[in-house]
Amino acid sequence: MNKRYVWIMAGALLSLPLFAQNQKEYPGRAPMTHEMTEYWWPQPPIVTPGQAPVDPIPAPSDAIVLFDGKDLSKWENSKGGPAEWTVHDGVFTVKKGTGDIRTKQKFNDFQLHLEWCTPVGIEGESQLRGNSGVFLQGMYEVQILDNYQNETYVNGQTGSIYKQTPPLVNAMNKPGVWNTYDIIYTAPTFKKDGTYRTFPRVTILQNGVLLQNNTIIQGTTPYVGFPEVIQHGAGPIGLQDHGDASAPISFRNIWIREL
């Protein structure tokens, strides 16, 4: 061992107590349960949307088509491998147990269109009935759930910012009928300390009916616990494999316009 190395080691050891002093310990948060962030009242009023289109609504000319009915080449699994959900008859369906999927491309501000459908004869209740979700920038979940004649906690029903803000109304089509989502999203900006300078914001229409009107997103959307602010840049559009026992849901006609 040479002399210089010894001095460096000695210096490091001597500075340890100083370092430890700077690492002040604060009390941890009390443990939480998922029920602590769920509320069931008031239930949003039910609005019957206009007649659903039989065929997909065509994408505008400047849109990036993320699913055109043929394959999932624009998507990947959460490890960066191929998306394994099942493509059939111009749509794709959640393949339970294969995990969430996300777009390969990352986005900032956008207008997103997608269509989704729960199958006729779907069973289960509350959250265990066609549960999926759209993740904005891979961070913030807009809930997808079959809430047709199926109540749940309102900040977890279709069109909610999950565990944060319930939708203005319940505009569900019944199982077997396609639902449209049009989502207009503004990405957050961050201060140097990693907190929001401007919050993320979102407007959501389901079947042409307004569910969220430029709503502030307060942070991440965990099942247990409060929203957290995590600094991030551009992110993918994610779709959730919730893994519940009810029949899986299908998607079609997904396109996005960057803003």
Q: Which is nearer to Mg ion, 131 or 173 (CB)?
A: 131
* 103 forms part of the interface with Mg ion (CB under 5 A): no
Query: Which range touches Mg ion (CB under 5 A), out of 42-50, 129-137, 164-172, 206-214?
Result: 129-137
Interacting residue with Mg ion among 133, 235, 236, 248 (CB under 5 A)? 133
Question: Minimum distance from CB of 79 to Mg ion (Å)?
Answer: 20
Q: Which of 37, 103, 118, 131 binds Mg ion (CB under 5 A)?
A: 131
Contacting range for Mg ion; rule: CB under 5 A; set: 5-13, 33-41, 104-112, 124-132: 124-132
175 prior amide bond cis, ω within 30: no
DSSP 126-151: TTSSS-EEEEETTTEEEEE---TT--
Task: Name the minimum Å distance from CB 127 to Mg ion.
Answer: 8
Decide if residue 99 touches Mg ion (CB under 5 A): no
Complex with Mg ion: residue 137 or 197, whichever CB lies closer: 137
Where b means 16+ CB within 10 Å and e means fewer, 143-176 reads bbbbbbebebbbbbbbbbbbbbbbbbbbbbbebe
Token couple for 198: 């401007």
Residues numbered 1 to 40 that lie near Mg ion (CB under 5 A) are none
Name residue 143's beta-bridge partners.
133
Q: Which alpha helices (DSSP H) does 28-73 contain, by range?
A: none
Q: Which is nearer to Mg ion, 118 or 131 (CB)?
A: 131
* Cβ 200 vs Cβ 194: under 8 Å: no
The mark string for 157-196 relative to Mg ion (x by CB under 5 A, - otherwise) is ----------------------------------------
Query: Is residue 156 part of the contact set for Mg ion (CB under 5 A)?
Result: no
The amino acid occupying position 61 is S
- Distance separating alpha carbons of residues 211 and 223, to the nearest angstrom: 21
- Of 148, 92, 158, the C-alpha closest to 120 is 148
Contact, 196 vs 190, CB < 8 A? yes
Residues binding Mg ion: number (CB under 5 A): 3
Give me the amino acid identity at 181. Y
Chain positions 208 to 247 lying near Mg ion, rule: CB under 5 A, are 240
Q: Which residues bind Mg ion (CB under 5 A)?
A: 131, 133, 240
